[in-house]
Amino acid sequence: MNSQTNKKPAGKLTNSFTHTGSSEAAIIMYGESRFGKKIEEHRQRVRSKDMGSDTFNLSQKAIRRGNLLEHPLAQYCLEELKQSCRAGDPFVEEVMGNEEDVTELPTDKADVHKTLPVAASCDQKIFVKNHVDIECPITKKWIRMSGLIINEIKTDGYESGEPHRDYYCQLQHQMLCTGAQFGCITKLGPKLELEIYPYERDEEFIDELTEKVVEFWDRVERDDPYIELPETNYYVADLDQLETKDHVQSLVDQYNSLTVKKSDTEKEIEMTKKALIEVLKLCETDTGTIGGFIISNKRVEKKAKPGKWTEPTPGSHHYRFNIKPIGKIQ
């Protein structure tokens, strides 16, 4: 298929007044986008059907740069994946296939979810018939990908480093809309080398995003504003200062090691998790850092939902436990 045929048309393919698009997902997920746009402002604009002319505070120069560079970068990435197929597999001594195993799919229409009010306009969709292995530039971890791969292309700078959390959210939103299990964030590094950051579908993240999107549209419909809560007394505890820091660090290392093997170690994972939660409670906080990791056990409120896109549910709350490298998702 001709790559020019697959080029995404200029302009917005999704309707912000009926569906949450990928560029808006981070506002709903985090309450504020990297451009400073807050969720209540976004709710008001959606309800009034007036998004304004500066929805994402992008300059005309940035928009023009994106329009000009997005397609060449997409083709650059496609060629890199084809080269990977020709080069073979880093895990085993065998040839993976040939470049015909990697094809580009059309992106001229929005991907609208069948039941949820979300829709995506993907920069690039790639189908890998066999599989391709991509090494993350930061973690040096190889991820094996096959089937549909969503590629989110960024042209806003040439700094190396883990992509901003808004971009991660954007990519996971697109995987939600398309059903894809794999995705990449692609950008140019400081020496104009291509940097491809591979990701797997994050079901826990997608579940949380889905909850917040459904709540957002319920609030739009009922004209129920978001109330900006005052800051709590919680703080981020520096667990490296604890006398028991070696023990806490060993718990973190143990938890990370167990979650890799997950299938046979659910009971051990739960015990280690409870021990770390107790450490946070003793420090009277829900978040702490140690040895390059951030540990959190956040209370998540779930409002009662009347049920339009999903079954009606009563209000409730739960705690979300997480361990991530500091700076992984900023």
Calculate mean pLDDT across residues 191-196: 83
Phi-psi region of 55 (alpha: psi -120 to 50; beta: other; left: phi over 0): alpha
Q: Are 177 and 114 in contact (CB under 8 A)?
A: no
- What confidence tens digit (pLDDT) does each residue in 84-115 have? 765 544 444 344 445 568 899 999 999 999 99
Q: Output phi, psi for 112, to 5 deg.
A: -100, 130
How far does CA 119 lie from the centroid of its chain?
A: 15
Q: Tell me, what's the pLDDT at 206?
A: 95
**Does 304 have pLDDT greater than 90?**
no
How far does CA 73 lie from the centroid of its chain?
A: 20
Q: Are 27 and 20 in contact (CB under 8 A)?
A: no
DSSP label at residue 305: B
Q: Are 112 and 188 in contact (CB under 8 A)?
A: no
Percent over 70 (pLDDT), the chain: 76
Asked whether residue 312 is domain-assigned, the answer is: yes
Are residues 248 and 197 part of one domain?
A: no
What is the extent of the structural domain holding 252? 233-325
Q: Are 174 and 151 in contact (CB under 8 A)?
A: no
In this prediction, residue 9 has a pLDDT band, given cuts at 50, 70 and 90, of low
Asked whether residue 292 is domain-assigned, the answer is: yes
Q: Tell me, what's the pLDDT at 11?
A: 57
User: For residue 283, which of 273, 297, 269 has the smallest C-alpha distance?
Assistant: 297
Largest CA-CA distance found in the chain, in angstroms, rounded: 63
**Does 255 have pLDDT greater than 70?**
yes
Q: Are 221 and 18 in contact (CB under 8 A)?
A: no
Q: Tell me, what's the pLDDT at 238?
A: 85
Q: Output phi, psi for 87, to 5 deg.
A: -75, -25
- What confidence tens digit (pLDDT) does each residue in 147-157 have? 999 999 988 76
Q: Tell me, what's the pLDDT at 275?
A: 92
Question: Which domain CATH number covers 18?
Answer: 3.90.320.10
Residues 6+ apart with CB under 8 A from 241: none
Q: Tell me, what's the pLDDT at 308?
A: 58
Are residues 239 and 192 part of one domain?
A: no
Are residues 149 and 15 part of one domain?
A: yes
- What confidence tens digit (pLDDT) does each residue in 47-68 have? 998 766 544 555 667 667 767 7
**Does 213 have pLDDT greater than 90?**
yes
Asked whether residue 225 is domain-assigned, the answer is: no
Calculate mean pLDDT across residues 139-144: 86
Asked whether residue 240 is domain-assigned, the answer is: yes
Domain count, the chain: 2
For helices 203-222 and 165-178, give the axis angle rounded to 10 degrees: 90
Question: How high is the mean pLDDT of the chain?
Answer: 81
As given in the structure block, the two tokens for residue 291 are 């040895």
In this prediction, residue 329 has a pLDDT band, given cuts at 50, 70 and 90, of very low
Asked whether residue 214 is domain-assigned, the answer is: no
Per the model's pLDDT, the better-predicted residue between 46 and 262 turns out to be 46
C-alpha distance from residue 244 to each of 36, 237, 282 (Å): 39, 14, 12
**Does 4 have pLDDT greater than 60?**
no
